[in-house]
Chain A
Amino acid sequence: MAREEVYNKLNEVFCDVFDDDSIKVNDDTTANDIEDWDSLEHINLIVAVEKKFGIKFNMGEVNNFKNVGEMVDTIIKRVN
């Protein structure tokens, strides 16, 4: 799956989880850029991403993503 395709699907997940259609994520997006991205929504986000892409993250990964770009790197590794 190409990075652009991952981003298209991932952006839908972000809009859905945070109930905000104006969100546009990129490699540099972090929790500081989305007001409602707190620890609880992080859990909801991870579960939603796993379901969307049919993958599973491990516990270490979900706590250590520095930005959306790192999340996308991991998604691409899992789906390809």
Chain B
Amino acid sequence: MNAYKFTELSIGMAESFQHTVSYDDMDSFMKLTGDINPLHCDEDFALKHNFYGRVVYGMLSASLVSTLGGVYLPGKYCLIQQIEIKFVHPVYVGDILTVTGVVKELNESVQQAVIKVEIRNQNEKKVARGKLNVGFLE
């Protein structure tokens, strides 16, 4: 786990990690949230609606942004204040997602870092993009 403090960050610093989405992830997310929408749970339903299979929950992908902040950038002392995310391409079970964060802004008066986030699949296709605002524990 990284443990960057505000003063150790600089504009342009980047961190990334990978995660492969599994059926276990999908089942766990469904149990945790109660989201039983068939687009995510029913292969036939998803195929019938022109997707290639069960579509991974957008918020499951977005949850990796929590990992980005809490483990990688800045890591240990992270206090997530705000997340903005757009889901720009479907994610499927088995996709290998690369989550990348780049420091875009450092607001010293409020000790806040603004991190540009993007998630790409194994084909380099961008599946989500957004912004993560973080503060820092003392």
Contact = CB atoms under 8 A, between A and B. Distances in A.
Interface of A: 40, 42-44, 46-47, 50, 56-59, 61-62
Given A59-B108, A59-B111, A62-B109, 10 more contacts: A40-B81, A40-B82, A43-B135, A46-B109, A47-B112, A50-B107, A56-B109, A58-B109, A61-B109, A62-B110
Contacts of B112: 43, 47
Interface of B: 81-82, 107-112, 133, 135
Contacts of A50: 107, 109
Given A40-B81, A40-B82, A46 B108 contact: no
Contacts of A58: 109
B108 A56 contact: yes
Nearest to B105: A47
Main secondary structure of the interface of A (DSSP, over half): helix
Contacts of A40: 81-82
A43 B110 contact: yes
Nearest to A43: B110
B81 A43 contact: yes
Nearest to B110: A43
A50 B112 CA distance: 13
A23 to B, nearest CB: 20
Nearest to A55: B109
A36 to B, nearest CB: 13
12 contacts: A40-B81, A43-B81, A43-B135, A44-B82, A46-B107, A46-B110, A47-B107, A47-B109, A47-B110, A59-B110, A61-B109, A62-B109
